[in-house]
Amino acid sequence: MIELDQVTKTYDGKNVVDSVTLSVGKGDLCVLIGPSGSGKSTTLKMINRLIPLSSGTIRIEGQDIASVRAEELRRRIGYAIQSIGLFPHWTVEQNIAVVPRLLKWSSSQVRQRVEELLDLFHLDASEFRHKYPHQLSGGQAQRVGVARALAADPEVLLMDEPFGALDPITRDSLQEEMRRVHEETGKTIVFVTHDMDEALKLASRIAIMDEGRLVQVGTPREILNTPANDFVLNFVGQSDLGLKMLACESVETRLEPAPSALRNDPLESIRNHFGTSDHLWLLSPEGQIEGLLTEAPTGDDDLDRSLRPLGRESHATPDMSLKEALSHMVWRKTDWLPVVDAEGRLTGEVGLNNVVERP
């Protein structure tokens, strides 16, 4: 747990961080967000004492950071930044191992940890451990930067716009990875960004700053549903507020039972079904989804004619966001998407109506 109590930083008589009181629970991913110059990075850097406080207190697990030696503190706190700062003449392995070596871990421990971390970030250890930073893509280097920050298993991870310089696709996939890594490691993370979509995707809590002050703190849903004032509303982005709300909810929250039949069921029973529902998922005898029927077939050859095949790429999964599901519906021109489990089996459906109408 990280507690900031009345934290202030003054430069040239101006409070660039102004009486910020914030508590970040254990295992939370708290995103600090706000316009340029609102004091996010300064707040972050005060947590690991890269910048001294002008007044106030910061505690980690109840311990005042002022009472801990700065070097010791920084070993307990991982720090990942946009420009990564990998050492260019060191291999990936050497870069990740910086803090474990300082902590005098044995070579075998270090080796094992490097493998574990590369694995966590889906980088093949045998391929990547001996590479140098210039041999990595931006996204790979960024992964190594975050892996390095996690190397000595710190209690807390601070991240300052870590994906800011990446192209949108790499950024998207690293955000997904970060979400998974956060779930798997349960680390307490404070993450600075000025990108609201990134915040909504990653945060368990969002803290919005303006001119050094904390304007609102809440879950993504709280911020979207009840913005504290016009500044927050504008910052969140009024025009696509609805889509942002959908981005915070998963398909699982709107899952409905899916009417289905097997291809080799008697035609009569497939037809009868249309008395109770206006659509039906047709499954192969092995249970794989073949497509969607939206009207009763009149004869055996009609089954294929009225079947709308839906490829695997239009299957939804329970953890997919409603925004993504809606996008698939628009793209595929369909009112329903099948929701499948890891084996590709139909577990339910999500309909356009369920997405639009709030439960």
- Contact set with ligand ATP (CB under 6 A): 11, 16, 34, 36-42, 194
**Rounded CA separation 273/271 (Å):** 5
Cβ at position 51, least distance to ligand ATP in Å = 8
Residue 36 or 126 having the CB closest to ligand ATP: 36
Cβ at position 41, least distance to ligand ATP in Å = 3
Cβ at position 154, least distance to ligand ATP in Å = 22
- DSSP states along 184-241: HH--EEEEEES-HHHHHHH-SEEEEEETTEEEEEE-HHHHHHS-SSHHHHHHH-GGGH
Specify the 3-state DSSP secondary structure of 94: helix
Cβ at position 248, least distance to ligand ATP in Å = 23
To the nearest 10°, report the CA torsion of 13, 17, 21, 23: -150
Residue 40 or 205 having the CB closest to ligand ATP: 40
CA 267 to chain centre: 45
Residue 212 or 338 having the CB closest to ligand ATP: 212
DSSP lists the bridge partners of residue 80 as 159
Cβ at position 43, least distance to ligand ATP in Å = 7
Residue 80 or 270 having the CB closest to ligand ATP: 80
Residue 142 or 250 having the CB closest to ligand ATP: 142
- DSSP states along 2-66: EEEEEEEEEETTEEEEEEEEEEE-TT-EEEEE-STTSSHHHHHHHHTTSS--SEEEEEETTEEGG
